[in-house]
Structure 1
Amino acid sequence: MTEQPALVLVSNRGPVTYQDDGSVKRGTGGLVTALTGLASHRDAIWIASAMTDHDVDVAREHGGKPFEVEAPEGGSFRVRFVESDDEAYDRFYNIIANPMLWFIQHYLWDLSNAPDIRRHEVVAFEEGYQQVNRDLAEAVIDEIEGRDEPVVMVHDYHLYTLPAMVREARPDVFLHHFVHIPWTQPDAWRVLPTPMRDAIYHGLLANDIIGFHTRSYQRNFLQCCRDLLDLEVDFERGVVVCDGREVWVRAYPLPIDYEATRAVARRPRVREYEERVLSRRREYSILRVDRADLSKNVLRGFTAFDIFLEQHPEFSERITFTAQLMPSRTDVPEYAEYLEKIEALVAVVNHRHGTPDWMPIDLKLRDDLDEAVASYKHYDVMMVNAMFDGMNLVAKEGPLVNERHGVSILSENTGAHEELGEFALSVNPFDVQELADAIYSALMMSPEARERRARGLKEIVTSRDPGDWIDEQIADIRAKAGSPSATPG
């Protein structure tokens, strides 16, 4: 037996992936960023799906057991890759997790047209989503065998049914689940057939603690438990009673590693990009940095800019809207179509307002952190107008390193708005006229008001770091494990 409880992290995507040339690439996404500090702890094992053929090869070389790996940008991890059947993984990821669950949790379904749930989707859930969750659950159960009071921290929407599988095998396990995307209200979940929905909710409610980015998502989950499952819910304490157990439902807003972000801003390659940014700069600069995801609301952002230019022709040739977008999930038809629409709208806006010497929108379809950070430093206005977003770390990274007292335009439906709204220009992401007006207000704002808002954003962004985020969750794990009837703090 170990002296300390075993700590196991579980997510679909791990801290690294092995490439075709044998190199190791750091995993992408905010989840990986959030967990790398915790996973490098010597007693933590990170279990994740094998994402590439070379991940599978490495997993087989180690007999499916954990192994040490050095991440390219620093940090050592104990990783266990889990290999799933290719067809099962395709069903898990490309039919159920994306788009089904992602669309439900971002209110993206056009319910008059989609989804049509047939046997195809039901089979994908049973033989894909459930199977991959089972594959990872079996790895967890294997890792905690013979361990006293193990703690398992599960992450995100890919693994909603895993906790119940682990709980059944190890009733003594402490399970904590953090959901990194929004949690929608009950009616959004009625899209799913009842057996599928119940499997997801009872899977989640097998946890001891369930965490979300915001109090709004926390309330929505509690409301779903009451309205969809008729469970006993205490909204004030943040508790659901399920199968005679109290499940704590908490909000832990995810901060950025502000010191690491500032270190990136000092890189020589960032300075090289800065020179290019400044050499091409017009009088004013608008910036957005996003994945080309439907939830990010890119089309309405460009439409609002089109309206702004039409209503304020005095800004012609004086402003550039730089949009750095990373193509996302292009094998999902809805995403491929969305990217085509983005490119088409940019062409229309540039044709309508551009001149031989000026292109209003500068669209960059690539993922380059150094280039993005160089642009962060010199925007006048940053647009984050997502329809719905779990947190949105760009809304925190940009103001941290910006050197021009840039103004943030922030959708009220982002998780970040709960923390940053006081010092941003809040917008309804569906009101393109309001967004166009916000662009004008930001550009016309007095230097004193810009400085006050910029200072306020920086103070909030630097008030907590990922270590605090992890500590808050570990403190609740210890409190609940030590006293099952303890009141959530």
Structure 2
Amino acid sequence: MGRLVAVSNRVADPRNASAGGLAVALGEALKVTGGLWFGWSGKVVETAQGGTPGEGELHQQQAGNVTLATVDLCREDHDGYYLGYSNGVLWPVFHYRLDLADFDAGQNLNIYRRVNQLFARKLAPLLEPDDEIWIHDYHLIPLAAELRAIGCSQRIGFFLHIPLPPPLILAAIPQHEWLMRALFAYDLVGFQSHADLEHFGRYVQSEARAEPMGEHRYRAFHRTVRAQAFPIGIDVDEFAELGRGPEARETYEMMMAQYARRRLLLGIDRLDYSKGLPQRLKAFQILLAEYPENRMSATLVQIAAPSRESVDAYADLRREMEGITGAINGRYGELDWMPVRYIHRTTSRRRLPGLCRASRVALVTPLRDGMNLVAKEYVAAQDPADPGVLVLSRFAGAAEQMKEALLVNPYDTRATAQAVQQALHMPLAERQARHGKLLERIRAQDVHWWSGEFLRTLAESDCG
């Protein structure tokens, strides 16, 4: 068995238990093979002499038997590749927000490709003939094509962590044909949901005239690619263990003491326009207006971690959130009760299980999301004897698996308020039944299932 080589925009030390996310998912597989993890160092350096973009320096270090290899980026490359194209075009379009995409900055596409070429040049000498390469997310869509162009013939898989929109939305991206053609350099392309997989199949057939080969295999551009849905999960046991830690217990006890006479509603998100945060606050406002028994009784704790605050759309969202929060608290608040506790800071992951366990309802209501692991973490943190209720957007990838949640359309704020009212008054037996089925499913398709299933499928994929 060859090494696993993981490639992502950012690299994390798999020995760090608090890293979460991708580190948890990949750490185990990398350790088995003594693998390599490659990506951007997170460091932005000055341009080379004369103001031209510099050739990023390669750094290597050992994390146990795993090699971490990272590359620096100069300011122009970082801004064009990361801020300009990845997050200024691909992120909004893939989340269905054509109105927020900056299609005019055409130079950013050239820089996006240039950085992927840089990564390919730096990675190729580190590869061994029998390596299996797993590339992650929208920052690196063309990386396999760049590796193939310089002679790499290893088996390469790709996983998209964010949604893939329908063909007509994808087709709004200038030079979308080049971008999607790059996916045919992979042997396996993985998506979070069956909806995303369907969008891919429709796109490649309508726009690329790809020939369906059965079993979600498509042939175009003299190559065949296999596509499949692999919904990412969490490490349920690791999150449960985190919940037994001192910080989680302290948080749970503090929240239960301070809100002994209240029922807590919880939202945990990055401050991002894809998360449906203004709509969530408006739904809570409707809850207080139309179901007045919740006044002085229900409190919404909304954590919105800072994200890309230099971008105008995010600064506008922050001001909107602060305005809506102030309006709700000003209208309904009392001296001894604030309806909304809005926290614009990052909360320690070690405290999250305690916060989830103390909350009667979780509001996970994005306008569009690839998966949303907060929904699964909330379920994992609950007391099975007295569990809370998950209110989940039907537009989150998690909704395909988590049918026992109360599924809502976040654009319909009145219906969302009604679902929250239902959650707050749900009988214990129904809460237990829903929670039991949800927990069973997230255990069956946890993060270890996800990585194992993807790598097993990649090992069987030799499309060429």
> What letter matches 1:257 in structure 2?
D
Q: 1:349 to 1:327 in 2, by over 3 A?
A: same
Residue 387 (structure 1) aligns with: 367
Note the 1:448-487 alignment, pairs <5 A. 448-481=429-462, 484=463
Residue 228 (structure 1) aligns with: 207
Of 386, 392, 398, the residue aligned with 1:416 is: 398
Q: 1:253 to 1:116 in 2, by over 3 A?
A: closer
Q: CA offsets, 1:298-336, max 9 Å, x none?
A: 110010000010001111101111112211111211112
Superposed displacement of residue 224, structure 1: 1.1
Note the 1:360-379 alignment, pairs <5 A. 360-367=339-346, 368-379=348-359
Aligned equivalents of 2:266, 2:115: Cα separation in 1: 39
> What letter matches 1:375 in structure 2?
L
> What letter matches 1:478 in structure 2?
A
Tell me how many residue pairs correspond in the alignment: 452
Aligned equivalents of 1:350, 1:212: Cα separation in 2: 40
Superposed displacement of residue 216, structure 1: 0.9
Structure 1: which 5+ residue stretches go unaligned?
18-23, 55-61, 71-75
Of 4, 10, 22, the residue aligned with 1:31 is: 22
Secondary structure class of the residue paired with 2:369:
coil
Aligned equivalents of 1:199, 1:27: Cα separation in 2: 38
Residue 73 (structure 1) aligns with: none
Note the 1:94-105 alignment, pairs <5 A. 94-105=83-94
Whether the aligned pair in 2 keeps the contact of 1:391 and 1:415 (CA below 8 Å) is yes
Aligned equivalents of 2:351, 2:131: Cα separation in 1: 42
> What letter matches 2:6 in structure 1?
L
Aligned equivalents of 2:250, 2:101: Cα separation in 1: 47
Instruction: Confirm or deny that 1:359 pairs with 2:315.
Output: no
Aligned equivalents of 2:453, 2:221: Cα separation in 1: 26
Whether the aligned pair in 1 keeps the contact of 2:44 and 2:78 (CA below 8 Å) is no
Superposed displacement of residue 372, structure 1: 2.2
Structure 2: which 5+ residue stretches go unaligned?
46-55
Residue 139 (structure 1) aligns with: 122
Aligned equivalents of 1:29, 1:158: Cα separation in 2: 19
Q: 1:221 to 1:407 in 2, by over 3 A?
A: same
Residue 129 (structure 1) aligns with: 112
Secondary structure class of the residue paired with 1:66:
strand
Q: Which moved more, 1:427-436 or 1:360-369?
A: 360-369
Whether the aligned pair in 1 keeps the contact of 2:61 and 2:69 (CA below 8 Å) is yes
Aligned equivalents of 2:345, 2:322: Cα separation in 1: 13
Secondary structure class of the residue paired with 1:366:
coil
Aligned equivalents of 1:15, 1:25: Cα separation in 2: 8
> What letter matches 1:135 in structure 2?
L
Q: 1:250 to 1:135 in 2, by over 3 A?
A: same
Instruction: Confirm or deny that 1:201 pairs with 2:176.
Output: no
Note the 1:277-288 alignment, pairs <5 A. 277-281=255-259, 282-288=261-267
Superposed displacement of residue 81, structure 1: 0.7
Superposed displacement of residue 77, structure 1: 3.2
Of 279, 294, 306, the residue aligned with 1:315 is: 294
Q: CA offsets, 1:139-169, max 9 Å, x none?
A: 221112xx32332110000001111011122
Superposed displacement of residue 27, structure 1: 8.6
TM-score by length of 1: 0.88
Secondary structure class of the residue paired with 2:293:
helix
> What letter matches 1:394 in structure 2?
V
Q: Which moved more, 1:206-215 or 1:281-290?
A: 281-290
Residue 35 (structure 2) aligns with: 44
Whether the aligned pair in 2 keeps the contact of 1:231 and 1:242 (CA below 8 Å) is yes
Q: 1:40 to 1:344 in 2, by over 3 A?
A: farther
Task: Please provide the CA RMSD for this pair.
Answer: 2.3
Note the 1:413-452 alignment, pairs <5 A. 413-421=395-403, 423-452=404-433
Aligned equivalents of 2:184, 2:202: Cα separation in 1: 14
> What letter matches 1:388 in structure 2?
R
> What letter matches 1:175 in structure 2?
I
Of 3, 9, 28, the residue aligned with 1:12 is: 9
Instruction: Confirm or deny that 1:91 pairs with 2:76.
Output: no
Q: CA offsets, 1:431-453, max 9 Å, x none?
A: 10110100111112111111111
Residue 52 (structure 2) aligns with: none
Aligned equivalents of 1:159, 1:290: Cα separation in 2: 24
RCO greater where, 1 or 2, for CA within 8 Å and sep 6 or more? 2
Secondary structure class of the residue paired with 2:231:
coil
Of 290, 294, 307, the residue aligned with 1:328 is: 307
TM-score by length of 2: 0.92
Aligned equivalents of 1:189, 1:394: Cα separation in 2: 27
Of 62, 70, 78, the residue aligned with 1:68 is: 62
Whether the aligned pair in 1 keeps the contact of 2:255 and 2:355 (CA below 8 Å) is yes
Instruction: Confirm or deny that 1:108 pairs with 2:97.
Output: yes
Superposed displacement of residue 86, structure 1: 1.8
Q: CA offsets, 1:407-441, max 9 Å, x none?
A: 111111111111002x1111012110110100111
Q: CA offsets, 1:166-194, max 9 Å, x none?
A: 1122252211000000010011112212x
Superposed displacement of residue 28, structure 1: 5.6
Aligned equivalents of 2:287, 2:365: Cα separation in 1: 15
Aligned equivalents of 1:279, 1:399: Cα separation in 2: 22
Q: 1:65 to 1:88 in 2, by over 3 A?
A: closer
Instruction: Confirm or deny that 1:183 pairs with 2:195.
Output: no
Aligned equivalents of 1:116, 1:97: Cα separation in 2: 11
Aligned equivalents of 1:53, 1:63: Cα separation in 2: 11
Aligned equivalents of 2:71, 2:163: Cα separation in 1: 27
Q: 1:318 to 1:339 in 2, by over 3 A?
A: same
Superposed displacement of residue 394, structure 1: 0.5
> What letter matches 1:66 in structure 2?
Q
Whether the aligned pair in 2 keeps the contact of 1:14 and 1:46 (CA below 8 Å) is yes
Whether the aligned pair in 2 keeps the contact of 1:273 and 1:371 (CA below 8 Å) is yes
Of 269, 273, 276, the residue aligned with 1:297 is: 276
> What letter matches 2:387 in structure 1?
H
Task: Work out the percentage of aligned pairs sharing the same amino acid.
Answer: 28
